[in-house]
Amino acid sequence: MDIKHEKTKQILALFEEISAIPRCSKNEEKIAAYLLDWAKKNDLVAKPDKVGNVLIRVPGTPGYEKTATVVIQGHMDMVCEKTADSPHDFAKDPIRFVFADGWLKADKTTLGADNGIALAMAMTLALDKKAAHPPLELLFTVDEETGLTGANALQGDFIDGKILLNVDSEDEGVFTVGCAGGRDTHITLPLQYEDPPAGYVMTRLKAGGMTGGHSGVNINEERANAIRVLVRTLLQLQKETDLRIADIAGGTAHNAIPRDAWADIFFAKDSFKNLEKTVADWDQVFRKEFKNTDPNLKLSLEPMPETTGKRALTAESSPKICNLLFALPHGVAAMSTDIHGLVETSNNLANIKIRNSKLEVITSQRSSVMTRLHALTTRIEIIGRLAGAEVVSGNGYPSWQPNMESPLLARCQKVYESLFGKKPHVEAIHAGLECGIIGDKKEGMDMISFGPTLKNPHSPDEKIQVESIGKVWDFLVELLKSFK
C-alpha cells in the first residue's frame, strides 16, 4: 500500500514491531519488558509499578520545560480472537498484516490496533525532534480488556500530570468525554453425570460463523450471540427427544460478543435423521433472523467418531443448563434518555464452559448509570441463584461522567477546527475506558479520549483506516504545541 504520510509509515513500522510481541490480556510481561528496554535505549526515564503498568517520561522541548505535564495513555494488552480455521498461536506468532482498500487488518486474527496503535503513536512522538510539546508521561497499562486491572491498581502518585490524552477511541474526528461503567458476574452451576442410556449416540451441535464484535461498541446492532443461537436450538431439540448434554462451550472474552459455540449431546440413535432435519430448519430460521448482521452464520449437527468413555449429564442437569442460559439476558437493556442514540445499559452473555463437573458462565454488564448497572447485575445474580448456582460479581469499574465545561475539551475543539476546517463530534460511549478509573485516582484530572478510525474491534474483522492515523498524529502534534 502506498502511504504518503511519512509519520504514518513510522507509526505503522513501530506498530508492526509491537505486533510481533505476545500481548494477550494478562500476558503483558514481554511487551512491558520491550517498552522498558526501548526507553533505556533512547535515554528516557521509565519505571514499572507492582502490577506491570509502565510509565515513560519524556522531557519537554525547548520553551516548554515548565509547561504542565501531559499524560498520553493507552493499554498494552489486546483481545486475542481468531477464526476457527486459523493456525495462529498468539503465544508466539507475530500478527500478520494485510493492507486492502485503505485499511489495515490482520490475517484471520484480531489486529491489536486496540490499543497497540496508541503505543506506537506515543513512542513515535517521544523520538520526534521536530514536534514541540510539554513534558510528557507515556502511561501504558496492563489488562484493560479483561478487567481494567492496570488502571484499577494504579497509584495516584505514579503519574504527575493532570491532563490526560487517552488514545483508545475508535473514530477519527470524534472526541469522547464519557463512558459506561462495567461489572462482570461469574455463575457456577453444579452438574451431575451418569452413563448415557443404552443405544444413545453422541453428536456435536455447532453454532458458528457469527460476526461477533465489541460488546460495548456493537451490542446495539442486534448481532447474533452464538451461545443464544446454540441454546435456542437445544431447547427445540429437547422438545422432540430425550437429549443429554455431555459438554458445552462458547465465547472467549468477556467483552466480545460470542461468535462460536458448541454442545456435545447424546440421544437415541434412531432420532438422528429427525433431529438433523430440525437443525437444518433452524439453520434457515437463524439465517433469516440475522441475514443483515451475520451472513456467515451456520448451524450444524455433526456425528462424533469416538465417544467411548464419554458420560452424559443426567435428565435433570441437561435442562438446567439450557433454562439458565436462556433466562440470562443478552443485549441492550435500556437506551439513554439524556443522549440520543447512546446505549445506557446492556449485558453480554460472554462465555460458557464445563469444568470440574460445573457449568461456568461469565456475563458482562455495562451502564452509564451506576444504579442501573447494579440493578441489572442483581437481576442476573437472582436468575443464577434460582437455578441453584453459585454467583459472584466483581467490583467493576465506574462510569466516566462527561464534563462539557472541560478546558481540555475546549482546547481540543479549537485546535481540531483550526487544523481541519470543521468541528469535531463530541460524544459519550457505551464501551468502557480507563479514564473514569484514572480520574478517580488523580483528583483534578482533565481528560479526553480520541484515536484513529477502527472497525470491528475484538473480532478477526478488526481493521484500522490508514489515512486516519496521520490525521490523529497531525492533531496530536498541534494540540501539544498549543499548550505553550
Q: What is the pLDDT of residues 445-471, one digit of tens each?
A: 999 999 999 999 988 999 999 999 999
Q: Per-residue pLDDT tens for 345-357?
A: 999 999 999 999 9
**Residue 28 CA from chain centroid, whole number:** 16
**Per-residue pLDDT, 308:** 66
pTM to 2 decimals? 0.81
For the chain, which ranges sit under pLDDT 50?
Answer: none
CA distance to 184, 200, 204, 207, 308, per residue, from 305 (Å): 37, 13, 10, 19, 9
What would the CATH number be for the domain defined by 183-393? Answer: 3.30.70.360
**Per-residue pLDDT, 443:** 87
Please identify which residue in the block is written with the cell numbers 504527575.
Answer: 160
**Per-residue pLDDT, 473:** 98
* CATH T-level topology, domain 6-180+399-481: Aminopeptidase (3.40.630)
Q: 354, 322, 350, 352: which is closest to 246 by C-alpha?
A: 354
**Per-residue pLDDT, 315:** 92
219 φ, ψ (degrees, to nearest 5): -65, -25
DSSP 145-188: HHH-HHHHH--GGG---SEEEE---SSTTEEEEEE-EEEEEEEE
Reported for 328-331, long-range contacts at CB under 8 A and 24+ positions apart, including other chains, are 328/187, 328/361, 328/363, 328/380, 328/383, 328/384, 329/376, 329/379, 329/380, 330/225, 330/227, 330/228, 331/219, 331/222, 331/225
Domain ranges, ordered by start, for the chain: 6-180+399-481, 183-393
Q: Which are the catalytic amino acids? A: 77, 144
Integer Cα distance of 67 and 301 in angstroms: 65
The answer to whether domain 6-180+399-481 and domain 183-393 are alike in fold is no
**Per-residue pLDDT, 307:** 66
